[in-house]
Structure 1
Amino acid sequence: MPDTLDPEIASRLKRDDHGLVAAIVQQHDTGEVLMLGWMDDEALRRTLTTGRVTFWSRSRGEYWRKGDTSGHQQYVKSVAIDCDGDALLVRVDQVGAACHTGERTCFLAGGDLPAVVGSRPEVAP
């Protein structure tokens, strides 16, 4: 296992002022969006090389591997980088809840916001 992130991958990342990239986590077989976490180069290296998702905790200032304390592991199925290099899509096989609240997804726990629902204009045949 390499000690550092592949330089070719690292060069494609656009990090924030803290050296982090947003990582959107999605259930691989259903497309359900589970959570958003943050990765630096080391967290991404661990995720790419171990088969388990590792994040950087902004509040604790340390690495954490999803599920080590809760038992709700995330097993990596694929990792993609977006066109701008400022976000990652991590497709996983989620065991149990993804959210620290105990919900399957962090977006259930957060809830819907009031939004006007748009419709595309009808196109004449």
Structure 2
Amino acid sequence: MIAVDFEKGGGLVPVIVQDAEDGTVLMLAYMNQDALEKTLATGLATFWSRSRNALWTKGETSGNYQHVQSIAIDCDEDTLLLKVKGDGPACHTGNRTCFYRALEEE
């Protein structure tokens, strides 16, 4: 397995989460080594919450789990791309994706 470079980001790497079926970008989150290991062990997307300073498995509260279909790493080995099948919307607002607003919106 290719080593993920957690050092560049102070122990965290950004993770782009994409719908495995249609390619929609669903969200951006962060992982540390523990989150990656739990994701690999369970098949459920698990991240590091920077605000709570804790691991969180997407869906543990909402039921909207993300089942990981594949994980890719970028050329610098410091960003991950998860392709997932979700049990519901990715965004805590109820929207399918966290990227549902145009920057120009007021």
CA contact (8 A) 1:48 1:79 kept: no
SS at match of 2:99: helix
Counterparts of residues 4-83 of structure 1 (less than 5 Å): 9=2, 11-14=3-6, 15-17=8-10, 19-83=11-75
TM-score calculated relative to the size of structure 1: 0.78
CA contact (8 A) 1:57 1:63 kept: yes
Question: CA–CA distance in 2 between the matches of 1:48 and 1:83?
Answer: 20
**Structure 1: 5+ residue runs without aligned partners?**
1-7, 115-125
Question: CA–CA distance in 2 between the matches of 1:25 and 1:56?
Answer: 14
Which amino acid is the alignment partner of residue 63 of structure 1?
L
Report the alpha carbon displacement of residue 39 of structure 1 after superposing the two structures with TM: 0.1
SS at match of 1:29: coil
**Structure 2: 5+ residue runs without aligned partners?**
none
Which amino acid is the alignment partner of residue 112 of structure 1?
A
TM-score calculated relative to the size of structure 2: 0.91
Pick 1 or 2: higher relative contact order, CA cutoff 8 A, min separation 6. Answer: 2
The CA RMSD over aligned residues, in Å, is: 1.3
Question: CA–CA distance in 2 between the matches of 1:86 and 1:12?
Answer: 6
Report the alpha carbon displacement of residue 113 of structure 1 after superposing the two structures with TM: 2.3
Paired-residue identity, %? 53
Q: Tell me which stretches of 4 or more aligned residues in structure 1 moved more than 6 Å.
A: none
Question: CA–CA distance in 2 between the matches of 1:101 and 1:60?
Answer: 18
Question: CA–CA distance in 1 between the matches of 2:40 and 2:4?
Answer: 15
- Tell me the equivalent position of 2:103: 113
1:97 equivalent in alignment to 2:98: no
